[in-house]
Amino acid sequence: MAVGNEEQAVIIHSALPLAESDELFRQLEALEYQLHSVIAAAGVGEFDGNEIGQGELTLYMYGPDAEKLFAVIAPFLRRAQLTQFAIAAVRSGPPGSATRNVRLSAH
């Protein structure tokens, strides 16, 4: 988990459009690769991982400025089948801080 000045977070919550399958994991791997790459290229934080269970996907990203992090990743999340209708929790501070929820959509 992120430490130091990277306490702000963007946490994505999405219902899974696919049952757990090879296709789901292929799509998740491709999305995670894109997120890692774009976050690193922009220097806005880090992709920390995922949780899958009970028909839901959660993605964790941390950085020093949650709003900048969200601005960088939002276009990729909106295009990805796994997250295009997800909710992004944009937390501008450490755990327990105020969180802005954003409903993603493809349009």
What is the SS3 assignment for 60?
A: strand
d(CA 23, CA 7): 33
pLDDT digits (tens, 9 = 90+) for 17-73: 767 788 889 999 999 999 999 999 999 999 999 999 888 999 999 999 999 999 999
Question: What domains can be seen in the chain, in order of their start residue?
Answer: 8-103 (3.30.70.100)
Output the pLDDT for position 4.
Answer: 46
Contacts with 33 (C-beta within 8 Å, 6 or more apart), sequence order? none
Q: Answer whether residue 2 shows pLDDT above 50.
A: no
Give dist(CA 70, CA 91) in Å, integer: 10
79 membership: H or E segment, kind and range: helix 66-79
pLDDT, position 3: 43
Type of residue numbered 48: D
Confidence of residue 1 (pLDDT cuts 50, 70, 90): very low
User: Residue 15 pLDDT more than 80?
Assistant: yes
